[in-house]
């Protein structure tokens, strides 16, 4: 695929990134099959039910401190308060025992506060005496007591379907009493890299060959607990071979992701092959740099995303468009990454016409506290190793031709 000026002159004929994304999302309907799993096995998966708390949180009045529980009505005028200590309640004790009026109870964080006791004194504020405790500050009713239902009542919503069960969600579900949870079944994803020039890293390169980087990039990008991945490896630019792999993948996949072969060269077979096997295709030229040609397709339940072969283009189109289609297909309700505000650490000059995602490094902060972005090489689309040294992508709007040092722009942090 040539990336020259002729393309940019026709940029008005291309779809904008937003238009392409909208078209991609429109064909990416969410998988709806679910399964019920023990909570520990559901970690990393996509929640399929709206969840409400099964219990009050906290479930009982309990102490927020290590110290002494008292009844404020037992306390006189001060300035010194003396109480005998009548018992001891630790976390896990039932707290059913009644303590006598006119006494304090030794209590620890998380332990149930006995009935009628309405304040907890921190142990740091109490002096122990021969008969009990002495303190000088009269506690307020309710002090250091966590009341039943104070955080959440049983029945209150805690999580919506479509979220990923990461650490915070797992903790919330556990505290709300979920021993099992309903999740969306794993998304079946098949990947392969097209190109007769591709060689497995570690092997010796013959003239004309290159190492297959897209395969490993996709393996890393798709390494998710909610994905069941099939990697068909590299496939030569042989139409019969490609068609067979594509046909097989369609039978078994919710999503197929390939790289290469979606452009207009003689060896770019994917759009025609996908149509030949009965798929609906949408090959789009998107006004984005890097990464012009991207293809979507649908054949029965298989959604197909054909990324450009150039590894930087493949990464950027995946990040900006493909990954969002996949998230939607997997049943995730996830807002796309919100760009940060950043400023340029140097002036920029370029050809207008395409929205550009330029690899950048953060070089300190501006006076206002925004990251200052140093542009990496102006010609970067063939240099995937640069991506590994970048801190993120600066987003340069399509119509922009020049920018000055200190000018603000959007930044997508890796």
Applying CB under 6 A, the residues found at the interface with ligand AMP are: 1, 193, 195, 197-198, 210, 212-215, 259-261, 263, 265, 268, 308-311
The span from the CA of 317 to the CA of 324, in Å, is 10
According to the binding rule CB under 5 A, does residue 293 interact with Mg ion?
Answer: no
For the CB of residue 262, give the shortest distance to Mg ion in the complex, in Å: 9
Nearer to ligand AMP, 53 or 313 (CB): 313
Is 234 a binder of Mg ion (CB under 5 A)?
no
**Minimum gap (Å) between residue 38 Cβ and ligand AMP:** 39
Site for Mg ion in 82-111 (CB under 5 A): none
Among residues 260, 291, 322, 353, the one that binds Mg ion under rule CB under 5 A: 260
67 binds, among Mg ion, ligand AMP, none (CB under 5 to 8 A by kind): none
Q: How far is the CB of 292 from ligand AMP (least distance, A)?
A: 10
Closest distance to ligand AMP from the beta carbon of 248 (Å): 20
For residue 243, how many C-alpha atoms fall within 13 Å in the half-sphere facing its CB? 10
Helices (H), 188-269: 214-221, 239-252
308, interface contact from Mg ion, ligand AMP, none, CB < 5-8 Å by kind: ligand AMP
Residue 261 vs 297, nearer CB to Mg ion: 261
Virtual torsion, Cα 182, 185, 186, 187, nearest 10 deg:
-130
Stretch that binds Mg ion, among 134-142, 257-265, 285-293, 390-398 (CB under 5 A): 257-265
Q: What is the DSSP string of 31-84?
A: P--EEEEEGGGGTTSBB-S-EE-SS-BSSS-EESSSEEEE-GGG--S-SSEEEE
Name the residue nearer to Mg ion (CB basis): 1 or 255: 1
C-alpha 361/C-alpha 386 separation (Å) is: 10
Can residue 331 be called a binding residue for Mg ion (CB under 5 A)? no
Alpha-carbon separation of residue 277 from 73, 170, 237, 271, 272 (angstroms): 83, 43, 17, 10, 9
Which of 273, 121, 132 lies closest to 194, judged by CA?
Answer: 273
> Minimum CB separation from ligand AMP for residue 263, in Å?
5
Distances (CA, A) of 163 to 148, 166, 318, 390, 399: 28, 9, 21, 29, 36
Q: Closest approach of Cβ 385 to ligand AMP, in Å? A: 12
Nearer Cβ to ligand AMP, position 83 or 191?
A: 191
Distance of CA 243 to the CA centre of its chain: 34
- Nearest in space to 290 (alpha carbons), one of 356, 338, 334: 356
Binding mask 183-212 for Mg ion (x = CB under 5 A): ------------x-----------------
Q: Any idea which residue has 């996908």 for tokens?
A: 274
Q: Which stretch binds Mg ion (CB under 5 A): 30-38, 56-64, 296-304, 305-313?
A: 305-313
Name the residue nearer to Mg ion (CB basis): 152 or 307.
307
Q: Which residue is nearest to ligand AMP (CB)?
A: 309
Quick one: which of 309, 353, 359, 392 contacts Mg ion (CB under 5 A)? 309
Residue 310 contact, options Mg ion, ligand AMP, none, Cβ 5-8 Å cut-off depending on partner type: ligand AMP
- Give the integer Cα–Cα distance in Å for 39 and 52: 15
CA distances from 55 to 43, 160, 173 (A): 21, 17, 11
Please check whether residue 68 is in contact with residue 107, taking contact to mean a CB–CB distance below 8 angstroms.
Answer: yes
Residue 310 Cβ, how far from ligand AMP at the closest point, in Å?
4
According to DSSP H, which parts of 253-391 are helical?
A: 270-276, 311-317, 323-329, 384-389
143 or 193: CB nearest ligand AMP: 193
Nearer to ligand AMP by C-beta: 262 or 376? 262
Q: Which residues bind Mg ion (CB under 5 A)?
A: 195, 260-261, 309
């Amino acid at each position: 695929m040539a990336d020259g000026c002729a393309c940019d002159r026709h940029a008005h004929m291309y779809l904008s990134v937003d238009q392409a994304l909208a078209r991609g999302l429109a064909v990416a309907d969410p998988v709806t099959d679910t399964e019920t799993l023990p909570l520990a096995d559901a970690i990393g998966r996509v929640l399929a039910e709206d969840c409400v708390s099964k219990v009050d949180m906290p479930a009982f009045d309990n102490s927020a401190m290590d110290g002494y529980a008292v009844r404020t009505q037992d306390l006189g005028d001060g300035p010194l308060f003396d109480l005998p200590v009548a018992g001891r309640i630790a976390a896990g004790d039932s707290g059913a025992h009644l303590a006598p009026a006119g006494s304090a109870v030794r209590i620890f964080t998380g332990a149930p506060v006995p009935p009628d006791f309405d304040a907890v004194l921190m142990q740091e504020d109490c002096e122990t005496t021969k008969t009990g405790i002495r303190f000088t500050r009269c506690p307020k009713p309710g002090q250091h007591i966590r009341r039943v239902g104070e955080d959440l009542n049983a029945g209150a919503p805690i999580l919506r379907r479509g979220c990923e069960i990461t650490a915070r969600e797992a903790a919330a579900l556990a505290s709300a009493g979920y021993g099992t949870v309903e999740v969306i079944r794993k998304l079946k994803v098949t990947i392969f890299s097209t190109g007769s020039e591709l060689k497995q890293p570690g092997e010796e390169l013959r003239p004309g060959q290159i190492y297959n980087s897209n395969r490993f990039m996709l393996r890393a990008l798709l390494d998710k607990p909610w994905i069941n991945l099939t990697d068909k490896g590299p496939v030569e630019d042989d139409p019969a071979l490609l068609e067979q792999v594509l046909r097989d993948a369609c039978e078994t996949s919710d999503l197929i992701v390939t790289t290469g072969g979606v452009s207009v060269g003689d060896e770019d077979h994917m759009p025609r092959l996908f149509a030949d096997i009965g798929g609906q295709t949408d090959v789009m030229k998107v006004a984005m740099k890097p990464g012009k040609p991207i293809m979507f397709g649908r054949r029965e339940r298989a959604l197909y995303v054909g990324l450009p072969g150039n590894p930087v283009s493949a990464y950027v189109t995946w990040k900006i468009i493909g990954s969002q289609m996949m998230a939607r297909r997997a049943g995730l309700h996830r807002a796309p990454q919100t760009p940060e505000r950043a400023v340029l650490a140097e002036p920029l000059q370029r050809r207008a016409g395409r929205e550009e995602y330029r690899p950048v490094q953060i070089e300190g902060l501006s006076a206002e506290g925004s990251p200052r972005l140093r542009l990496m090489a102006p010609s970067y689309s063939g240099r995937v190793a640069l991506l590994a040294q970048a801190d993120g992508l600066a987003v340069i709007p399509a119509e922009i031709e020049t920018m000055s040092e200190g000018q603000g722009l959007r930044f997508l942090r890796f």
